[in-house]
Amino acid sequence: MTDETSATAGPSPAGGNQGTVLIVEDDRNTAALVATYLERDGFATVVVHDGGQALEAADRCDPVFVILDVMLPNMDGWTICRELRGRSDVPVLILTAREEEVDRVAGLAMGADDYVVKPFSPRELVERVKAILRRSRPAPPAASPLLSVAGLELDPVRRRVTRDGRAIPLTVWEFKLLHALMSSPGKAFSRDELLSQCYQNREAVIERVIDVHIGKLRQKVEDDPAHPRFILTVRGHGYAFSELPGG
């Protein structure tokens, strides 16, 4: 375990080949417990106890996964998650004592992959990390055609979206939602179906998160988000991608 806050480094775990997990947690006992269990499963770990050092540590250690507390000194977990998601696809798991629904919505809407409430089972936590990593690895790019409708183009291989040739930066979840919708124009997706496209572990996720993501996606791809041409609301059900945008 490498502790970035105190700058004391421990040896890498024997046989560790799973990559590095960044643990951002101000409770040193909790951080040490999580690190111990991860290292037993072959992960290297970097621990930061101060939120203000989290982003710098992420740049330095290039983690394959981030475990992030919410209540941190100098920078809260919400801000860190938002900043990480703006620059990286690295999976993020929120680990916190805050169990209110509004906090779950906030964390997941900002791009977290999972939300675990303390107290927790460290063994289960490691299994969640491993499951998310398995499912987050991109599938082989074969048979992934370019999707194009009325100037809106989505390239699944390059993970790139453009509108009339202009690049549109999307989060991982916005990209997944748009890909699902554009792949089946005219199909009415329920919120539950769209949740399955974004989140592999459904225990922590509620349907309101999809509405938040759709709202942000419309802001980026629609000329008038209040009167969308592409992403349509199917009242009482969910959302669909228009078969004939503007037609």
Q: Copy the structure tokens of residue 41.
A: 């499963």
Q: What is the value of pTM for the model shown?
A: 0.62
Residue 116 lies in a domain: yes
- Domain boundary (136, 157, 178) is at 136
CB contact at 8 A, 59 and 32: no
In this prediction, residue 33 carries a pLDDT of 96
- For residues 114 and 159, membership in a common domain is answered with no
Q: What is the DSSP string of 121-189?
A: -HHHHHHHHHHHHHHHSPPP-TT-PPEEETTEEEETTTTEEEETTEE----HHHHHHHHHHHHSTT--E
Q: How far apart are CA 195 and CA 208, in angstroms?
A: 10
The closest of 197, 132, 200 to 214, measured between CA atoms, is 197
Each residue's pLDDT, cut to its tens digit, for the chain (247 residues) gives 777 654 333 334 444 578 999 999 999 999 999 999 999 999 999 999 999 999 999 999 989 999 999 999 999 998 999 888 877 778 999 998 876 766 666 767 777 888 888 899 999 999 999 988 887 765 554 556 889 999 999 998 888 899 999 999 887 778 888 999 999 999 999 988 888 776 655 454 566 778 888 998 999 999 999 999 999 999 988 999 998 654 4
Residue 74 lies in a domain: yes
Q: How far apart are CA 231 and CA 26, in angstroms?
A: 41
Q: How far apart are CA 146 and CA 222, in angstroms?
A: 19
Read off the CATH number of the domain in which 39 is found.
Answer: 3.40.50.2300
- For residues 181 and 112, membership in a common domain is answered with no
- For residues 113 and 191, membership in a common domain is answered with no
Integer-rounded Cα radius of gyration of the chain: 19
Which domain covers residue 225, as residue numbers? Answer: 147-241
